[in-house]
Amino acid sequence: MPESTPAAASLVGEEYEVEIGPVAHGGHCVARTPAGQVLFVRHTFPGERVLAKVTEGRADSRFLRADAVTVLEAAKERIEAPCPFSGPGRCGGCDWQHVKPGAQRKLKAAVLTELLRQLAGVTPEEVSWDGTVEPAPGDKVAPGEVPAWRTRVQYAVDAEGRAGLRRSRSHDVEPIDHCLIAAEGVSELGVEARRWPQIASVDAIAATGSNDRMVVLTPRPGGRLPLVELDRPVSVLRAQERRGKGGGPGQRTVHPVHGRTFVRERADGRTWRVGEGGFWQVHPQAPDLLVDALMRGLTPRKGETALDLYCGVGLFAGALAQRVGESGAVVGIESSKRAVEDARHNLADAPRVRIEHGRVEQVLPRTGITRADLIVLDPPRSGAGKRTVEHLATLGARRIGYVACDPAALARDLAHFRTAGYVPRFLRAFDLFPMTHHMECVAILEPVEKAR
């Protein structure tokens, strides 16, 4: 019987004094160990010298993950993290609490520039991007200050019933008494100040278009709901996770306990019903900012036909319908059944809008649509993918608007579009997730021959 190869030694806990190199996608920077192994280091900044402690990886790993536990030479952009729960081994929600706000946006711009070059083969100049990541109005704050922007917060609950947030790349809970990036409407509920026995998670939602507030409680297996008394009137829903086959992820079902099963949001001049599980942008200004960027780029005309793919509760479909008028038509496609119900309710007064339920790659070919003037797509973090992009390119749209919450997926899909005959006419990036590594991008594409 052949001898088994011994496993390579774990390097977790090892410490290396390293020079920090460029920022990378994911909220960390790149360095190398003295032996040349790649380190992805959190809680640091390019140009710093730090003591990095390995958190994941073995001697034969392609790369290691680490935290900067001691800063030996600090960058001028570094500040004291405003959040007391931020730092190595603590809350994983924010990546850049230790970096001045303006420098955070420069880091994001550097990441987007590199991903466009590496995955899409284009420069910022080629996509008419000025290289800036734009803050939302009101989010320009002084170093040491944090904008309270997050209108939806999922709190994890530890074994003692304390609400908190997950640590980086971990299921462990960091109990907190206040999340600095949580919007005022979330903080005023007082979720963090209470104990949640027998509860696994508490989702807190604060609408910005109304005074609607909602909490969704997920009990532990066999757990019972506590009596919910929060600091503001709130709707309460109970969620239940059902295991899939083989113990894998299953279906989440939600049941009302009291109050509405939705919140009312306001954007683009109208009110939107958003049920639990229906997608809505987390930053309060994001819906209007993204609608404005899309409509300016697409320039919809009366009588045109438009597609809104991954349409959620219908925000972009509604914006398109208003602008193409009664002589135009809009078809939306969305995989979430609840979001489809909300979209149909929200756009019931727009008879020229049709919302289809299902996965885009499955439903779009079945619609029989062979031509469209405009296409909007706002895919999940994984992107649209080559097959969907190739199908969209056959529809002859004069312009395509792509909304992306992940710059790597955007860059990959831009490469697919380029092969299929579409290139970006211009691109904008928005810092709609301050203190984190995330950003939102809007790209407007045109057929190659028209873009020349």
AA letter at 394: T
The structure tokens listed for 127 are 């996509």
Residues 372, 305: Cα–Cα separation, whole Å: 5
Q: Is 97 exposed, middle or buried (0-12, 13-18, 19+ CB in 10 A)?
A: buried
Helices (H), 273-403: 286-298, 315-324, 337-346, 360-366, 386-393
Out of 83, 94, 179, 405, which one is annotated catalytic?
405
- Here the tokens at position 65 are 């993950």
With CA atoms as reference, report the closest residue to 28 among 83, 88, 80, 77.
Answer: 88
Q: How far apart are CA 230 and CA 213, in angstroms?
A: 11
Q: How far apart are CA 204 and CA 146, in angstroms?
A: 20
Q: Contact, 376 vs 320, CB < 8 A?
A: yes
With left for phi above 0 and alpha for psi between -120 and 50, is residue 26 left, alpha or beta? left
Q: Is the dihedral of CA 119, 436, 86, 232 positive or negative?
A: negative
Contact 179, 150 (CB under 8 A): yes
Question: Token pair of 298, please?
Answer: 């697409």
Count Cβ atoms below 10 Å from residue 417 Cβ, excluding itself: 24
Burial class (CB in 10 A: 0-12, 13-18, 19+), 222: exposed
β-strands 152-157, 38-42 pairing: unpaired
Chain CA centroid to CA 197, Å: 30
Residue that the structure tokens 């049941």 belong to:
255
Nearest in space to 427 (alpha carbons), one of 116, 101, 25, 138: 116
Comparing CA positions, the residue from 120, 124, 146 lying closest to residue 135 is 146
- Residue 405 annotated among the catalytic residues of the structure: yes
- Enumerate the active-site residues: 405
